[in-house]
Amino acid sequence: MSKNQASAAGSFRDKLKNLTDTNLLLAITIIVFFLMYLGAVIFQGGGFLKPQAFFNILSANAALVILSCGLSLVMITGGIDISVGGVTALISMCCAVYLDFHGGNVMTSAVIALAIGLGFGLFQGFLVAYLDIQPFIVTLAGMFFARGLTTIVNTKPFNVANEAFTKLKMTRVTVPFMGSVNKRGIYVDAYVEIGVAVAVLVVILMFCFLRWTKLGRSFYAVGGNAQSALMLGINVKRTRFISHVLCGLLAGIGGFVYFLHVGSGSASHAAGAEMDAIASSIIGGTMLTGGVGNIAGTFFGVLSLGTIQNIVSSAGLDQAWWSGITRAVMLCLFLVIQSVVMARKKKA
Amino acid sequence: MIKKYVMIFIVVLAVSAGAGWVFFGCAFEEEISHDPAPCEEEDYIVIGLSQIGSESDWRNANTESFKSVFTAGNGYYLLYEDAQQKQENQLKAVRDFILQEVDYIILDPIVETGWDTVLMEAADAGIPVILVDRQILLENDELYTCWVGSNFREEGRAAGRWLEDYLKLQSRENKEIRIVTLQGTPESSAQIGRTSGFADVLSEHDNWNMLDKRNGEFTQAKGQEVMRDFLKLYEDIDVVVSENDNMTFGAIEAIEAAGKTCGPGGDMIILSFDAVRAAIQFMQAGKINAVFECNPLLGPKVAEIIERLEAGEQVEKIQYIEETYFDTSMDLEKILKERVY
């Protein structure tokens, strides 16, 4: 009996030893998220006990999940893309104008969204990969360009009145068996917005892409050490280019999901979304220096940030200020964790 | 390798401690102002307030009015959400309130449309919604309990009636009176109300001549521009009706730059709306005749409504807050001391 126990403990230790950096950071992220959520349930009780609270976090952050996935892809390759917020605002304004002023249909507006995102991705990717311009500068310019273009398309913010769109916006995907009884004693099914389904799909696809395709794994190689990757025969320029194109495409998808969520066009939409996406990726275990990252971690990173918002607001604090401060504290702590892991790696 | 295990443990502990310190610190601070959380005390009435933001003095005075009324001492627990000028934040706030099962939701809607779904969710959950300040376009009136705010039309009418009385005092009630209006943002409820309210009184007087009405956008810069144009186009303007204080300040600049005077004893009569501190001070300096208040202090009225709802009474759907006016015949020094904003 004790021999079995010893061998079981031994294999567990072995598993720990083989924990790569990526998985170590992922483990930390997931543990912290669960602790936080557990803490919220225990100390705040009430609304948090309902599964609907979790689904509300998902619904509110579906677009951010998609944007963060795109950003993680670029960060793993060692680059950055801070234009995603501006692109999202541009997409929401263009689609809103198209739907209301030109009487378009929803399908075409989705195509428009993808086209805009892809366009930005292609252009920025080309500048970064083939002209060797710093990604921060290129995407900074892209961000200003996108935001400025949004006001040229239409100066005033407005809500979309197109009926087909509003129907799609209000579609709910019911999650079975997770409903709860509300104040009146009526059983209400738990639901998520339609954007969540898209977000989950994107996460799964990107996860498989990074882990099981050659191109995905070359992202890690290029981000870890571009010189070594070049010597291994990986086309570094093409890899960087594709990472930006993918980020742009995901910004297009994320932008449309955001548009579905807010239902309006405005130049101030998604303000600071790129920062939230970067923060989520970092909390999820993606290193700013590149070469390390995990889409699952990014997903939990977004959820962690969303949970903080909910905890702050249910504690009766002014959510606008305190959630920002708490997120900043959390981000700093995770940056410290990252540098500790990196230092350990060097020592080993 | 044990180090790795220990490291994970220490790191998680550090993060939790860090997060815990932030929250505990906030919670501790909160306990000084609030008493136990709502789940422990059943006597508290839990209110969820979704405010537009904190973009102006008027808005801040509005928020402060709510916060000072809905305190633990009065038997309330207030959950306050600042939407930072975004509708999606307000929608999220209302949904959070529904999940938290608050007793009442107070909502100041930033725009007029897009609220149907979330108000239906609140109705399904059995939570009464009280709308304040801004109005919304809804197909189904049953989705909210009542609306509390300013009666802009009455503000306009009050200005007209004040002018009537003032002209009688000056024995000018039969002379021709030439009037211009600086209007606020087109299509805003404040502009529509004040213009039509004044027009109600205008139509009763044949000798009142409304020369022109132009858009001053509720800002000082635009107000000055429009007044300058009026002074060039029209001779002998008797009355300037300016639909908010900021435009009035701009108009005064334009009038003085043209070498004319305004206020009691001046060439022109100026009527203004809002009644911010600065306007009353201008009145003390003798530059404005009268200001008509737009009252942001909605807290006490809403608290009264909630008490009536708690007692099971029906409340009127549309409720106007009491608003008054100030002119140079009053003790302005005393009024300034008592003004909250």
What ipTM score was computed for the predicted complex, to two decimals?
0.76
Whole-structure pTM over 0.80, yes or no? no
Residue B239 lies in a domain: yes
Q: What is the CATH number of the domain that holds B252?
A: 3.40.50.2300
Co-location of B139 and B161 in the same domain: no
Contacts of A52 in chain B (CB under 8 A): 99
Using 50, 70 and 90 to split pLDDT, how confident is the model at B33? very low
Report pLDDT for A205: 96
Nearest to A117 by CA among A148, A84, A94: A84
Chain segment B277-294, per-residue pLDDT in tens: 888 999 989 899 999 998
Co-location of B254 and B221 in the same domain: yes
- The domain in which residue B51 lies consists of 39-150+296-310
Residue B137 lies in a domain: yes
Rounded Cα distance, A238 and A248, in Å: 15
Name the minimum distance, in Å, from the CA of B165 to any CA of chain A: 42
The number of distinct structural domains making up chain B is 2
Residue B29 lies in a domain: no
Q: Is A299's pLDDT higher than 90?
A: yes
Distance (Å) of CA A148 to CA A27, A87, A127, A265, B328:
41, 10, 20, 14, 48
Search chain A and give the residue with CA nearest B84. A320
So where are chain A's domains?
A: 23-41+48-347
> Which residue did the predictor score with more confidence, B125 or A70?
A70
> Residue B120 is inside which H or E element, if any?
helix B116-124
Co-location of B193 and B230 in the same domain: yes
Residue A248: Cβ within 10 Å count: 28
Residue A313: Cβ within 10 Å count: 24
Which of A158, A304, A317 would best serve as a mutation to test chain B binding (most B beta carbons within 10 A)?
A: A317
Rounded Cα distance, B225 and A17, in Å: 74
Flag if B22 and A19 touch (Cβ within 8 Å).
no
Report pLDDT for B16: 67
Using 50, 70 and 90 to split pLDDT, how confident is the model at B155? very high
SS3 A263: coil
Co-location of B163 and B118 in the same domain: no
> Exposed, middle or buried by CB within 10 Å (0-12, 13-18, 19+), for B313?
exposed
Q: Contact, B247 vs B216, CB < 8 A? A: yes
Enumerate residues 6+ apart whose C-beta is below 8 A from A61. Answer: A302, A303, A305, A306
Flag if A184 and B113 touch (Cβ within 8 Å).
no
Using 50, 70 and 90 to split pLDDT, how confident is the model at B322? confident
Flag if B12 and A264 touch (Cβ within 8 Å).
no
Rounded Cα distance, A93 and A326, in Å: 31
Co-location of B175 and B243 in the same domain: yes
Flag if B87 and A264 touch (Cβ within 8 Å).
yes
Measured torsion, CA atoms of residues A99, A101, A102, A104, in degrees rounded to the nearest 10: 10
Report pLDDT for B173: 81
Considering chain A, what is the average pLDDT of its residues? 87
SS3 A19: coil
- Helix, strand, coil shares, percent, chain A, to 5: 75, 5, 20
Co-location of B163 and B140 in the same domain: no
Residue B17 lies in a domain: no
Chain segment A257-279, per-residue pLDDT in tens: 999 999 888 888 888 899 999 99
Co-location of B173 and B54 in the same domain: no
Co-location of B161 and B287 in the same domain: yes
Torsional sign, CA A347, B5, B6, B8:
positive
Strands B239-242 and B76-82: unpaired
Co-location of B288 and B165 in the same domain: yes
Q: Calculate mean pLDDT across residues A167-191.
A: 80
Residue B119 lies in a domain: yes
Q: Which fold has domain A23-41+48-347?
A: ABC transporter involved in vitamin B12 uptake, BtuC (1.10.3470)
